[in-house]
A and B are shown apart, each in its own frame.
Chain A
């Protein structure tokens, strides 16, 4: 088991996060958020701000530099006087100190022409429409067979509507940037999940060549999708640096993160399941209603997992979205699968209860031999193995299915199960490996370690591929000047990066071998690009799977829920770095527990914002909420997805947790909670 290579740097404080990078003569930015949800800026009075000693500039729609690339409206800062949501950055102050910038920002007076806003998602909203695709590029709707006819004829039916609230990612490190211009080139230290992608997008916004922007992200304090693409912070810092001619530091505040750095949109999901008397599904339908902002379309693909989970001849999935005067939603850990599987797996639990079939058995009976919509073979699929292994470890056998009948003192107790899944993919990446005459190896790739242990995993893979001790290898990541690579996102980092690194290591080994082991004075370098390999992947269905088992206790007087036990069993190909993988899976499950019981950004229709906009108001699970939690995996060989055979484990851990806990709450109380989070008032009797 490999220890985390950057562990000592992190615990001793040597590891530098974006904002901590020193910059001589740095100025500081404080953003001014809109206090209206929709309307127009009539005028900005910056005089009182500019009067403060130390203020260098107040940037507003009146004086902001014009940005040539406005393809992403979230990055088109101060290019319009229109306000699309409350909290949108509408101006900013640059000053010699953070304190001055903050005080001055409070003195910027903005006169708004207010317009009525609409911030409430409903299932019958007249603005609902069918988007051309759902995130990232999935088909919006799919259908096979005759769902309506088969559902009407089914022996047993479930027809239920589930709701998930808006949720925010909240990595510990807020979005932060240090930006500096030098001779027309821009260098930014940024809290990003993808230096290569960020550099390209930032260059496009400022109308620069890709080589004119360098993004460095040596250490990143979590992302969960929120740092997958550049946000307003990096554009604002770069703009402020250009306007003032000084390096600039900017960190988004926690309350501002509720508006400008993305979140999971709320969803309304209707799931209909029809089954024959043998418990085999005949009809499956998942209809999703979602919201996005007026600025940018983002439709979460919540019904997509339903397309491959269970066999049934008659099926349909749909997504509809409405543009509201709300902050722009984006990626949050397992976008689509996470909320969607809460609905589908809750419905499976309801179907099991309706039948009187054990919920593990129900899932086993509905295992598809091939992808049920496309007919493609699965490259590897071991959901059944996860369910069986989990049931054995958890002690599931002999479970009394009757709800609301077990009591220990003041606690009602119950258990629940749900399946997990996440696509297993890789994206083209490049890597460079060099060896010096002294036998020192250097692995370079613009990967990002957002706390997952990517550095450690890449070192382990390189050591194995090169056949040399890890101590002989240096791994450089987190810099767009390195060979371009996929972002740390979509559970694709490890599969994409190890593919390129192993390929480069192999090429280097071949070079060394061709020289009979003699490394010339200038050293040897091998470069690899996986674009062609990934392009040649067979059209197969590739997914990671898992099964999660939860035990809950519900206080009979208060409805308080505790989760004394949570077990996840996963099948995710080869686990490259076991210690880090276990942490990440447990982290995903913890976030799933948090989603089940705590997390909710509640929209206030009066103002059009999320008023619980700090970590006192937006609850995430505390340590005391997480008790006996464990993640294990079964041996699985993934033959197709690159030389490491790694499917990725960043997201599968959060998928299904909420459904397992909701099922356990039903088992404990007899109350089926279909709208998250499961707070105590929903269980109070």
Chain B
């Protein structure tokens, strides 16, 4: 094996300093993705800086009714938290839809956000991949891409972000707290990720040494009427083929507000703002839900083997919004 160092710094500042100053260093939390990537030779850190004991491991209320979730909170604890289950059901459902119980016991909130794509070419070091080796090429477009992106991809990369949790957080307008060499900062989840463009190796806006310390959820509001639906190729323990996180506020049959995010269809958790814009102020009918989905999917650029995802996402969006609104499905057909 390739030797690497292992460091357990006394505090976050020391951890940040250790990673900032060393290009081959990386943070280790639950390790459920990083260790796999090291075994595959995809990740080759020369120093692991273990932050599992350093990150906040608690979920705490914040003024105004929101929750602050420590980046070290285990996925299983997040999904089981009564405040999360009651106020943000979409989040609890999304976390439970991911991985297995054993993995959720290990995986942390911060690590979940930063997990890497499961694109088969990214994981195989004997093959080209622009994300792993910039400029080497992308075999996925002509090869296996059934599970890859229909939205937000580029000629250089059509990888999908694999997280379920992040899709729910995108719908919830979560804010990510980051500590770095330049001090703490907060950014909306949507600003954490980058689209691949011609640099698919750069997946986030984080700088070397930046450490996610917490994720903050704003007050529940419409999140209390929210849900997550993951479609996958077997009944459990599989990455999504497509997923939808949605929250809806309906008053007297009219949509006041809607939040929709899509998973497993884009390089990042995909906030469906075009769909949301269509819905605001419209009747809560299957017809309008379908129009909203169509507006979002208008810019889809599927490949031959994942074109079905367009129909799939539309069907799931309509079905979920109908269920959240208590609307009959009839009339949704395009």
Contacts and interface: CB of A to CB of B under 8 A. Distances in A.
Contacts of B144: 602, 604, 611-612
B139 interface: yes
A680 B1 contact: no
Contacts of B318: 557
7 closest Cβ contacts across the A-B interface?
A624-B235, A681-B308, A624-B236, A99-B1, A557-B315, A611-B120, A625-B235
Interface string A581-618: 00000000000000001100010111100011000110
A560 interface: yes
Given A558-B315, A611-B121, A612-B144, 14 more contacts: A103-B1, A410-B319, A557-B319, A558-B312, A602-B144, A616-B118, A621-B234, A622-B234, A622-B238, A625-B236, A679-B233, A680-B241, A681-B312, A684-B315
A407 to B, nearest CB: 12
Contact of A625 (B41, B234, B312, B316): B234
A106 interface: yes
Interface string A98-113: 0110110010000000
Nearest to B125: A106
Interface in B57-83: none
A406 interface: no
Of A557, A560, A617, chain B has the most CB atoms within 10 Å of the CB of A557
A681 B309 CA distance: 8
B57 to A, nearest CB: 28
Given A611-B124, A684-B312, A622 B143 contact: no
A527 interface: no
Interface in A110-129: none
12 contacts: A100-B1, A410-B319, A557-B315, A558-B316, A611-B121, A611-B143, A616-B118, A619-B234, A621-B234, A622-B234, A623-B236, A624-B235
Interface string A664-685: 0000000000000001110011
A606 B319 contact: no
Contact of A597 (B127, B139, B234, B308): B234
Contact of A619 (B2, B41, B238, B315): B238
Main secondary structure of the interface of B (DSSP, over half): loop
A267 to B, nearest CB: 21
B311 interface: yes
Contacts of A604: 139, 143-144
Contacts of A607: 127, 139, 143
Contact of A680 (B41, B120, B231): B231
B237 interface: yes
Interface string B306-334: 00100110011011000000000000000
Contacts of B2: 103
A604 B145 CA distance: 11
B118 A619 contact: no
A682 to B, nearest CB: 9
Given A604-B143, A607-B127, A560 B120 contact: no
Contacts of A35: 126
B146 to A, nearest CB: 8
Interface string A541-563: 00000000000000001111010
Interface in B118-132: 118, 120-121, 124, 126-127
B214 to A, nearest CB: 30
B142 interface: yes
Contacts of A102: 1
Interface residues of B, number: 31
Contacts of A562: 235
Contacts of A602: 144
Contacts, number: 76
Contact of B231 (A558, A606, A612, A621): A558
A622 B236 contact: yes
A622 B144 CA distance: 23
Interface of A: 35, 99-100, 102-103, 106, 410, 557-560, 562, 597-598, 602, 604-607, 611-612, 616-617, 619, 621-625, 679-681, 684-685
Given A102-B1, A558-B315, A606 B234 contact: no
B234 A684 contact: no
Contacts of B239: 616
A612 B144 CA distance: 9
B139 A606 contact: yes
Interface string B1-28: 1100000000000000000000000000
A208 B94 CA distance: 60
A410 B312 CA distance: 14
Contacts of B1: 99-100, 102-103
A94 to B, nearest CB: 16
A227 B329 CA distance: 52
Interface of B: 1-2, 41, 118, 120-121, 124, 126-127, 139, 142-144, 146, 231-239, 241, 308, 311-312, 315-316, 318-319
A103 B44 CA distance: 12
A624 B120 CA distance: 25
Contact of A624 (B139, B231, B234): B234
A594 to B, nearest CB: 9
A557 B316 contact: yes
Nearest to A253: B39
A270 B121 CA distance: 34
Nearest to B127: A607
A606 B142 contact: yes
Nearest to B237: A622
A558 B229 CA distance: 11
A622 B234 CA distance: 7
A560 B232 CA distance: 8
A558 B232 CA distance: 9
B3 to A, nearest CB: 9
A420 B318 CA distance: 41
A605 B237 CA distance: 28
Contacts of B127: 607, 611
B233 A680 contact: yes
Contacts of B233: 598, 619, 679-680
A616 B120 CA distance: 10
A598 B139 contact: no
Given A410-B319, A607-B127, A681-B308, A598 B142 contact: no
Contacts of B121: 611
Contacts of B118: 616
Contacts of A597: 234
Contacts of B234: 597-598, 619, 621-622, 624-625
A616 B240 CA distance: 12
Contacts of A621: 234
A621 B235 CA distance: 8
Of B233, B312, B319, chain A has the most CB atoms within 10 Å of the CB of B233
B333 to A, nearest CB: 10
Nearest to B126: A35
A681 B303 CA distance: 14
A612 B148 CA distance: 14
Contacts of A99: 1
B124 A560 contact: no
Contacts of A681: 146, 241, 308, 312
B26 to A, nearest CB: 19
Contacts of A685: 311
Given A558-B231, A619-B234, A612 B312 contact: no
B235 A622 contact: yes
Contacts of B232: 560
A167 to B, nearest CB: 15
Nearest to A617: B120
B292 to A, nearest CB: 16
Nearest to A34: B126
A410 B332 CA distance: 14
A612 B316 CA distance: 27
A598 B127 CA distance: 25
Given A99-B1, A103-B2, A617-B120, A684 B238 contact: no
Given A560-B231, A624-B235, A606 B311 contact: no
Contacts of B120: 611-612, 617
